[in-house]
Amino acid sequence: MNKIYNPHKNDWKTILARPTQTVEDIEATVLQIFNEVKSNGDSAIEKYTSFFDGTIIKNMQVTEVEISKIDNSIDYELKQAIQLAKNNIEKFHSAQKTPKIEVETAQGVKCWQEKRPIQKVGIYIPGGTAPLFSTVLMLAIPAKLAGCSEIVLCSPPNKEGNIHPAILYSAKLCGVTKIYKVGGIQAIAGMTFGTETIPQVYKIFGPGNQFVTVAKQLATKYNVAIDMPAGPSELLVVADNTANASFVASDLLSQAEHGADSQVILVSTSKKQIEAVEQELDVQLHKLERKAIAEKAIANSKLIYVENEHIALDLINEYGPEHFIICTENEDFYVNGIQNAGSIFIGNYTPESAGDYASGTNHTLPTNGYAKQYSGVNLDSFLKSMTFQKASKEGIATIGNAIEIMAEAEGLQAHKNAVTLRLNSLKDE
């Protein structure tokens, strides 16, 4: 990892740059595939599945027969672990439900807000080097709790043309309605436009590589919403001399093994801690099965020393990490001061892995600095807030004149007239 000591604030932007391609580098490829899927539907999906995934899929939808066979493919301990995670995720997301808000804003004018589910949602689950069945839990559980009537899941097939059994098991357990063996750009395009087989959805959720991220952003041009721009994973740890260097190193590597384009950063007010973490990284890295992937991510990563916690906090807020771990004596300083982060993990015994799997919080989070303006996925991500209002005769009489004056000031005569007619009708009674 690159060691940087007391970087000047003018250099922070360069130092904290993500190892990602620009949208311009990727958009042409994404647009080409989108246009083909829009025009040719299933045949374009099959073409690109063969090209990118190296398998020919004629029956994209996972059948009930296939799902019925997965039970025997999952061992008992994994089923128990998935069930524990499911319970915690359900508990945390159920607590996010809010009641109808109702208020009388003026005499005779009643306004209220209710939340209604997004009817059709699409879930993208990466396959690739790691089958992220945990992401099924993170997305399908709140979708089900919200009351979404159609939950469509797309995930890339392996060389044999199958989706990993744990992904199918989790999808069945959490109430996914339809599952498709489609990945990458073509999956996002399929859910955006709809094909002969894949239904069109109203909002697409899920992480992915840089191509999937750009595909999701392009989908918004076709009246499909997305959860957030969620690309390659990232983690920032702030640590002082009270941190356990082996724990810190393990957390950095847990994100580095996600992909070659992941990024991990340690910010510390202790040069001694930086040296200790660097040594631990070297020891632990060589024991990883995904060492080659983690090494590439480590090459994109940084060990940054700063003189005090105030500088550290400013730098962290500038970066806006997807995952932020606090391992310091004065943890409240960072807990209270952090403004830009997707999910925060506090203390030596709260690894980022807890949030990835089973603590109950959601692991679908904004990356690439989008934590400055986006929230992670939560129950409200699957809901729409709708407002209602009802004015009685007394109500329109109370606010009517103000509406007339404002409409006339804006030059909108029809708006004024809609009120005037009603007020005049009351005079005739």
| Statement to judge: residues 223 and 293 lie in one domain | no
Question: Tell me, what's the pLDDT at 225?
Answer: 98
Let me know if residue 89 belongs to a domain.
yes
| Statement to judge: residues 194 and 247 lie in one domain | no
Query: Of 176, 193, 228, which marks where a domain is finished?
Result: 228
| Statement to judge: residues 346 and 422 lie in one domain | no
Look up the pTM and report it: 0.94
Q: Name the binding residues for Zn(2+).
A: 255, 258, 356, 415
Question: For 207-238, how does the pLDDT look when each residue is reduced to its tens digit (9 = 90+)?
Answer: 888 899 899 999 999 999 999 977 788 999 99
User: How would you list the strands of the sheet with 150-154, edge to edge?
Assistant: 178-180, 150-154, 120-124, 203-205, 225-226
Separation between Cα atoms, residue 303 and residue 301, nearest integer Å? 7
- How many CB atoms neighbour CB 280 within 10 A? 19
Question: For 247-306, how does the pLDDT look when each residue is reduced to its tens digit (9 = 90+)?
Answer: 999 999 999 998 888 999 999 999 999 999 999 999 999 999 999 999 999 998 999 999
Query: Of 228, 243, 260, which marks where a domain is finished?
Result: 228
| Statement to judge: residues 336 and 271 lie in one domain | yes
| Statement to judge: residues 7 and 114 lie in one domain | no
Let me know if residue 378 belongs to a domain.
no
User: Is pLDDT above 70 for 106?
Assistant: yes
Mean pLDDT of the chain: 95
| Statement to judge: residues 246 and 343 lie in one domain | yes
Separation between Cα atoms, residue 155 and residue 131, nearest integer Å? 9
State which amino acid sits at residue 229. Answer: P
Question: Tell me, what's the pLDDT at 232?
Answer: 81
Based on the structure, what is the number of domains in the chain? 3
| Statement to judge: residues 172 and 272 lie in one domain | no
Q: 93, 164, 323, 363: which one is catalytic?
A: 323
Question: Which residues, including other chains, have CB under 8 Å from residue 310's CB and lie 6 or more apart?
Answer: none
Let me know if residue 245 belongs to a domain.
yes
Question: Tell me, what's the pLDDT at 259?
Answer: 85
User: Is pLDDT above 90 for 386?
Assistant: yes
User: How would you list the strands of the sheet with 343-346, edge to edge?
Assistant: 2-5, 302-305, 263-268, 234-239, 323-327, 343-346
Q: 322, 329, 394, 429: which one is catalytic?
A: 322
User: Is pLDDT above 80 for 130?
Assistant: no
User: Is pLDDT above 80 for 322?
Assistant: yes
Question: Tell me, what's the pLDDT at 319?
Answer: 97
| Statement to judge: residues 147 and 84 lie in one domain | yes
User: Is pLDDT above 90 for 23?
Assistant: no
Question: Once rounded to an integer, what is the mean pLDDT over residues 401-427?
Answer: 97
| Statement to judge: residues 184 and 316 lie in one domain | no
Let me know if residue 202 belongs to a domain.
yes
Q: Both tokens of residue 277?
A: 């973490």
| Statement to judge: residues 70 and 145 lie in one domain | yes
- pLDDT band for 22, please (50, 70, 90 cuts): low
> In this structure, are residues 257 and 294 in contact, taking their beta carbons and an 8 Å threshold?
yes
Let me know if residue 380 belongs to a domain.
no
> In this structure, are residues 185 and 211 in contact, taking their beta carbons and an 8 Å threshold?
yes
Q: What is the CATH number of the domain that holds 408?
A: 1.20.5.1300
For 282-307, letters b (16+ CB in 10 Å) and e give eebbeeeebbebbebbbebbbbbbbe
| Statement to judge: residues 64 and 6 lie in one domain | no
| Domain range enclosing 74 | 23-228
Separation between Cα atoms, residue 308 and residue 409, nearest integer Å? 55
- How many CB atoms neighbour CB 193 within 10 A? 19
Separation between Cα atoms, residue 201 and residue 194, nearest integer Å? 8
Q: CA-based Rg of the chain, rounded to a whole angstrom?
A: 25
Separation between Cα atoms, residue 18 and residue 137, nearest integer Å? 28
Strands 109-117 and 383-391 come out as: antiparallel
Separation between Cα atoms, residue 73 and residue 70, nearest integer Å? 5
Question: Which residues, including other chains, have CB under 8 Å from residue 335's CB and lie 6 or more apart?
Answer: 326, 344, 346
- pLDDT band for 356, please (50, 70, 90 cuts): very high
Let me know if residue 347 belongs to a domain.
yes
Let me know if residue 319 belongs to a domain.
yes
> Which residues, listed in sequence order, are joined to residue 384 by a DSSP beta bridge?
116
Lowest-pLDDT range, 82-96, 127-141, 271-285, 302-316? 127-141
Question: Tell me, what's the pLDDT at 131?
Answer: 86
> In this structure, are residues 371 and 149 in contact, taking their beta carbons and an 8 Å threshold?
no
Q: Is 104 a catalytic residue?
A: no
Q: What is the CATH number of the domain that holds 44?
A: 3.40.50.1980
| Statement to judge: residues 215 and 287 lie in one domain | no
Let me know if residue 366 belongs to a domain.
no
Q: Name the binding residues for substrate.
A: 233, 255, 258, 323, 356, 410, 415
Question: For 28-56, how does the pLDDT look when each residue is reduced to its tens digit (9 = 90+)?
Answer: 999 999 999 999 999 999 999 999 999 99
Q: Name the binding residues for NAD(+).
A: 124, 186, 209
Question: For 183-209, how does the pLDDT look when each residue is reduced to its tens digit (9 = 90+)?
Answer: 999 999 999 999 999 999 999 999 888
Separation between Cα atoms, residue 116 and residue 43, nearest integer Å? 35
- pLDDT band for 21, please (50, 70, 90 cuts): low
Question: Once rounded to an integer, what is the mean pLDDT over residues 117-146?
Answer: 93
Q: Is 329 a catalytic residue?
A: no
CA distances from 187 to 14, 67, 125, 165, 425 (A): 34, 20, 10, 19, 56
Question: Once rounded to an integer, what is the mean pLDDT over residues 142-159?
Answer: 97
